[in-house]
Structure 1
Amino acid sequence: MKKYFGLAFIMAASVSAQAQHRIEKIWETDSVINMPESVLPDIKNKVLYTSVMGNSPTDKDGIGGVAKIGLDGKVIDLDWITGLNAPKGLARLGNTMYAADLTEVVIIDIAKAKVIKKIPIEGAVFLNDITVSDKGIVYVSDTRKKLIHKIEKNIPSVYMENISGVNGLKAIGNDLFIAGGKTVMKADSKKNVTNIAELPHGGDGLEPVGNGDFLLTSWSGYVYYVYANGKYDLLLDTTKEKINTADLGYDPVKKILYIPTFFKKSIMAYQLK
């Protein structure tokens, strides 16, 4: 009997080891996107909205914007929205898009392809990722100031402070999931923080898989699958090729990751296995 239990344990361990997630590359655009930082998929309309920082991630030069790329990697419009300043994170609720544009949040009417409002964030230095809840509350991180700002009814305020390396944000229900340095954490509606996982490298983009797990990119060139129990799989390492992996977008139905490469000026698509 002991032999059978031992064999069953070995087989279970083998199955578990084989169950590790992996990704396979599907396509990559040409290097024509001037420093892409974030991808926001619109699967229904077969569009990937991509933030275009321009020549610098920190300059207020007015040459940033938002591009439209097809789900097949073909360029639709590199100048869909222009005149921004190094925009990074993108979020959407209904027909409204929100862009973290260095020191202000830009609100865009998607149907009209038009900027309809800009909300300055007092004291902001480096607005990075942005997310919007199903109630229309916007959260935006300022990595350099270690802050998360909240915008409710177009009025900004400081929401959370002293979060080292704060970057990726994702609002789900009443919770806010945060990539703060190497830590993935959850803040509930009362701002009680629970740490979910500790990773080897600082997080950039953060996207839910749909079962409590997350996909996370690290700007230097790593992509992780993070389990709800804190464990993780390394899906991609492009550090030797010096390819950055910035704020990803994710299609939870087809299980496809869309990853902007920052300085390489392209978007990569990967199938999650």
Structure 2
Amino acid sequence: MKFFSSILFITLTSFTLSKAQSLQQIWKSEEKLPVPESVLYDAKSKTLFVSLIDGEPGKKDGKGGIAVLNLDGSLKNAEWISGLNAPKGMGIYKNVLYVADIDKVLAIDIPKAKIIFSTQVPDAVFLNDITVDNKGNIYVSDTRTNKIHLISNGKSELYLENVTAANGLKYSGSELYVLAGTELIKFNSKKERIVIATGLEKPGDGLELLPNGDFIVSCWAGIIYHIKADGTKTKILDVQGKMNTADIGYDDKSKTVYVPTFNANSVISYKLF
């Protein structure tokens, strides 16, 4: 009987560990957000930063900005930062919000809501996502040049090249995870390339790393995947033709995924099960 119970426990445990994640909608923002590209959850302020392109994704028109949402989806500040061009990916380090804006990375003092400096990235064309390591080094992808740049102490240098359609980034430990076209790739401290998953239906956009080593990945076209650490992928949302799913944000404590819908001009939150 004990032997049978042990087998049953192991079987149920294995099933639980291998079960794919799923999403359930919580809320949708009511106020129109002009072309939201990225959402970043800030645990300290318990708010959401949303980058707004409000124009063409690669045009320097001064129409872009950063809005702030409350965690219930209500609008806290529609024009927290204005006068940007086409802001996309964001990252936070020590009360500073870093934002990719076409060919430069902006540093914004969060308490003061003020741009304190910017770093020009040489030869950049379409800076897209940002991730920050535990020392404050900033990694930013340039999707159209297939490069990833490193910004340290306000200076930019080339970190990786020939990373096809590099977009979503996430730094963890000593490893950099990259969504490159339809692949999820890991680069270790020696910059060795390790492919984790291939065959995404559309090019990847947003990338979030879960505590157990799995990933939540979005494709701009309207798809979200759960990808296990071993590369097994499961589509958990497909809204193609209805809305986009751009650079997602994630709060691990509440297990909430925040999805900017780009041309649908809203942010939608989902519970991750």
Fold agreement, TM-score > 0.5: yes
Q: CA deviation at 1:46?
A: 2.1
- Is residue 207 of structure 2 the alignment partner of residue 222 of structure 1? no
Q: Deviations over 1:15-58 (max 9, x none)?
A: 47992211100000125111000011013422000001112211
Aligned residues: 265
- Is residue 161 of structure 2 the alignment partner of residue 161 of structure 1? yes
Check conservation: 2:20, 2:226, Cα contact below 8 A.
no
Q: CA deviation at 1:193?
A: 1.1
1:131 is aligned to 131
Check conservation: 1:167, 1:180, Cα contact below 8 A.
yes
How far apart are the structure 2 equivalents of 1:191 and 1:25?
38
CA distance 1:161–1:45, change in 2 (3 Å): same
Q: Find the residue that maps to 1:263 and give its secondary structure.
A: helix
Q: Find the residue that maps to 1:148 and give its secondary structure.
A: strand
Q: Deviations over 1:106-164 (max 9, x none)?
A: 01100110000111111111000011101111000000000001111111011100111
2:84 is aligned to 84
Residue type of the partner of 2:19?
A
- Is residue 239 of structure 2 the alignment partner of residue 238 of structure 1? yes
CA distance 1:27–1:160, change in 2 (3 Å): same
How far apart are the structure 2 equivalents of 1:188 and 1:15?
31
What's the C-alpha RMSD, in Å, of the aligned pairs?
1.9
How far apart are the structure 2 equivalents of 1:163 and 1:89?
17
Give TM-score scaled by structure 2 length.
0.93
How far apart are the structure 1 equivalents of 2:227 and 2:137?
26
How far apart are the structure 2 equivalents of 1:106 and 1:17?
40
Q: What does 1:169-188 correspond to in 2, within 5 Å?
A: 169-188=169-188
Check conservation: 2:37, 2:51, Cα contact below 8 A.
yes
How far apart are the structure 2 equivalents of 1:62 and 1:240?
29
Residue type of the partner of 1:249?
G
How far apart are the structure 2 equivalents of 1:25 and 1:85?
31
CA distance 1:194–1:63, change in 2 (3 Å): same
2:210 is aligned to 209
How far apart are the structure 1 equivalents of 2:107 and 2:43?
21
Q: CA deviation at 1:201?
A: 2.3
1:248 is aligned to 248
Check conservation: 2:31, 2:75, Cα contact below 8 A.
no
How far apart are the structure 2 equivalents of 1:31 and 1:238?
21
Residue type of the partner of 1:222?
I
Mark the runs of 5 or more structure 2 residues left unpaired by the alignment. Answer: none
Q: What does 1:94-173 correspond to in 2, within 5 Å?
A: 94-173=94-173
Mark the runs of 5 or more structure 1 residues left unpaired by the alignment. Answer: none
Check conservation: 1:223, 1:245, Cα contact below 8 A.
yes
Residue type of the partner of 2:30?
D
Structure 1 segments of 4+ aligned residues over 4 angstroms from their partners: 14-18
Residue type of the partner of 1:96?
V
Check conservation: 1:32, 1:265, Cα contact below 8 A.
yes
Q: Deviations over 1:54-80 (max 9, x none)?
A: 122111011111100010000000100
Q: CA deviation at 1:240?
A: 3.5
1:258 is aligned to 258
Q: CA deviation at 1:210?
A: 1.1
How far apart are the structure 2 equivalents of 1:168 and 1:266?
20
